[in-house]
Structure 1
Amino acid sequence: MRLIPQSLKNLWHKLKWRRFSAYAFPVFPPPTPEVLLAHPNVYRERLSKRVYRTPKGQTEDTALFSLYRFYERLILNDNIGLRNEIEYFWYARWPVASIPDPQDPSASRYAVLSAIPALLVESFNKRIDLGLPRKADPIISREGMEQYQKEDKIFESVPEWTNKVARLEKTLIIPHDNDEVLGSFNDERASTQLAAKNILHWQPHIHFI
């Protein structure tokens, strides 16, 4: 009889527990920025227990669900999770301009959501400008790369609704590592895409080239 190492048993129980955890599914919509920022460690812990990408009862992922996941990672300054979500959106091949208007009832959450497509556009268009179209597979041969670079580039654009979302009256400040915050929008590290909606935060790590 072959014995299963205790370490594997512990891993199995941990994964099984996570699968049936109350936080295995994302809440849609997630809490407002004010709530997330008031209890960041609590919500980071909940994110670490998440197993599924879509809310309970939803089997098909969408660009809108991804937008809200990006929002959570951005507010909680989860750089790795944010980069993973950007890459996931890229390979899902949803056009950025096709992200539907969430018409979110929270002014602050709506403002953050409306700034995210501009971050995606900057990230994606950087890759596209280098000759990496969104139709390309994750692994590309040298010959394939040379062929892609000969093709016309199809750049991304923001959805029209993002420009109609009101700029926040009060500045929303999102802390960085160790709760450090920027002093003003004049800081060269401040994100211009977020600043357009009166949100002060470091430029996120959006490039995955």
Structure 2
Amino acid sequence: MTVSRYLCDFILAGLFKLLWAPSLVPTPNDTDEVRFNKEHMYDPNWPRSLVLIIHHTRRPFHNFFLLLWPYPWHFALQPLYSSFEFLQHPELADELHSDDLRLHYFPPYRARDTPLRSLYRMHAWICAGGKHRPLLGYETQYFLSHIGPEWKLENLPDPQDPDPVRYAVLAGLVETMVLSFNERYSEMKLPRMGEGISVMYRKKLKREGREVDYATLKERAPEWVAPVPPVEGPPVQLAMIKQEGVAIQFRKRNILISGSGHMFWV
């Protein structure tokens, strides 16, 4: 690495630390868990790691600008492609979203990402199929890891997608997340972040003789999901699969697709 590159990286890491370190300092208003996670969740050298990761993304200059420029605060939706375009050209999913996978767990990205962006990434991975389907599992885990109220499934805004096939797939993905998350809570006793999901924090609770009240944890689909109608005409084939092998969340909307099982990794 040249001296100029090293100096540039040092300055960029310093900028990220200057801008984001204050948000990771515990405050009197934080819950016990949030305070604990701020103190233990991030490696102190995360700004340096973020700079190195960005250098290995598809669009490093774009990503540096995206994460350092604060307007608008929340990232906009990526360009929207139809379900068939991802099916026929799966490389589109990589071009649009592979950088997001690399940046998922860094504070400057997490704080400005949105639930709808994550949902549309799921749409891309499941429609692209093949080697992309496991990435649906990683994206679902990422969605689950957020603690803000806007990331509760029942608060997910209606995308009002004009593409009936894409809208049906999005609704099926949300319903699958509801099943996946509730199974995690009720059967595996693993709630999401903000309710004791942090392994270190759960160990702390156990040492103190405290437990999470799993009976109170339940995800619900937002109101807009149930009315999303089936796609008109013959079944929409987005995967080589028979109807009986398709999850009911998609089959009832006349969508034949596979890969939603990866969403139960969480």
TM range (shorter): 0.7 to 0.9
Counterpart CA distance in 1 for 2:57 and 2:169 is 34
CA contact (8 A) 2:82 2:163 kept: yes
Q: Give, as a single letter, the amino acid of the residue that structure 2 aligns with 1:164.
A: P
- Are positions 1:28 and 2:78 aligned together? yes
* Equivalent residue number for residue 174 of structure 1: 238
Runs of 4+ in 1 over 4 A off after TM superposition: 11-14, 24-27, 49-53
* Equivalent residue number for residue 136 of structure 1: 196
Structure 1 residue 42: deviation in Å? 4.4
Match 1:88 to one of 135, 142, 159: 142
CA deviations over 1:115-172 (Å, ceiling 9, x no partner): 111110111001110322222233132827x844655332111111111112101322
Q: Give, as a single letter, the amino acid of the residue that structure 1 aligns with 2:256.
A: L
How many pairs align? 188
Structure 1 residue 80: deviation in Å? 2.8
Show structure 1 runs of 5+ residues with no match. 4-10, 54-58, 176-180
Counterpart CA distance in 2 for 1:122 and 1:64 is 18
3-state DSSP class of the match of 1:161?
coil
Counterpart CA distance in 2 for 1:96 and 1:12 is 30
Cα distance change, pair 41–147 in 1 and its aligned pair in 2 (3 A): same
* Equivalent residue number for residue 60 of structure 2: 19
Q: Which has the higher helix share?
A: 2
CA deviations over 1:63-107 (Å, ceiling 9, x no partner): 111111111111112223211111111111311111100001111
* Equivalent residue number for residue 219 of structure 2: 156
Counterpart CA distance in 1 for 2:113 and 2:173 is 18
CA contact (8 A) 2:118 2:139 kept: yes
Counterpart CA distance in 1 for 2:214 and 2:62 is 47
Structure 1 residue 27: deviation in Å? 5.6
